[in-house]
């Protein structure tokens, strides 16, 4: 098992890519702290525990620093350490530049950017003391190519690419790696809401001819969180089927 006895935090772990990641990690031997704002995480954690896995759910909004730091302390108390942080939680509130409100701008930055900062700042001292850690954050391929109506979302996902490069420099000497993944179009509840015409247009620009599945991204998280990626630091791994840049 590639993550045997490792302790992982997965934010946004109650649905979509996050849920696929939680299930993948426990299959690979990890003990998982599932963080999410949705109470669905309770049922998910309970089911995984029944299946023999070590999983604990905590209701956390990553944009709330107090909640994040308390959940970090509770995770250490429960499992004894934190080896892996998967900054997966994210939201969208799309609007064109001329129509976007400050509330829409701030809400997306709070979760997608400040949330990543909060979680990483809370966990990094623990990893430093251990002299070991894997930090993997969710960017997006739109960070590279842009996307109509997503000024706020693209701003956060572009910033994450820069932040992990800084963290790679700052934390590498403590045995901690920091990387990110840039997913393309993935079949999740977030993308299910897209109009059918937009879906068809997006597929036309993907050489493999279809959208990805949450498992595709979970597999990327697994690689970067494992010891197989011990010499991978400060990169952004794009998983998008070769979508046109």
Q: State the catalytic residues.
A: 153
Task: Give the Cα-Cα-Cα angle 115, 117, 122 (nearest 5 degrees).
Answer: 100
- Separation in Å, CA 99 to CA 95, 149, 194, 195: 6, 9, 19, 20
Tell how strand 7-11 and strand 31-36 pair up: parallel
State both tokens at 62. Answer: 């990553």
As a residue count, the chain comes to 245
User: Hunting for tokens 């969180």 — which residue is that?
Assistant: 225
Task: Give the Cα-Cα-Cα angle 226, 76, 120 (nearest 5 degrees).
Answer: 60
Among 199, 221, 210, 220, residue whose Cα is nearest residue 243 = 210
């Amino acid at each position: 098992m590639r993550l045997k006895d490792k302790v992982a935090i997965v934010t946004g772990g109650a649905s979509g890519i996050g849920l696929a990641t939680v299930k993948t990690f426990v299959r690979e031997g990890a003990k998982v702290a599932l963080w999410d704002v949705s109470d669905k995480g309770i049922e998910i954690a309970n089911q995984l525990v029944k299946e023999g896995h070590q999983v604990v759910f905590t209701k956390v909004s990553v944009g709330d620093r107090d909640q994040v730091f308390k959940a970090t302390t509770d995770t250490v108390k429960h499992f004894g350490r934190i080896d892996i942080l998967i900054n997966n939680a994210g939201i969208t509130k799309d609007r064109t530049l001329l129509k976007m409100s400050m509330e829409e701008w701030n809400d997306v930055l709070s979760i997608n950017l400040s949330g990543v900062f909060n979680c990483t700042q809370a966990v990094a001292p623990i990893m430093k003391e251990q002299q070991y850690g894997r930090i993997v954050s969710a960017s997006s391929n739109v960070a590279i190519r842009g996307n109509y109506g997503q000024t706020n979302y693209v701003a956060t996902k572009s910033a994450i690419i820069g932040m992990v490069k800084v963290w790679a420099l700052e934390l590498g000497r403590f045995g901690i790696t920091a990387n990110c993944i840039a997913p393309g179009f993935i079949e999740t509840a977030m993308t299910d809401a897209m109009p059918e015409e937009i879906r068809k247009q997006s597929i036309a620009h993907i050489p493999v001819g279809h959208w990805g599945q949450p498992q595709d991204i979970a597999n990327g998280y697994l690689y970067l969180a494992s010891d197989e990626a011990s010499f991978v630091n400060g990169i952004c791994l794009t998983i998008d089927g070769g979508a046109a840049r």
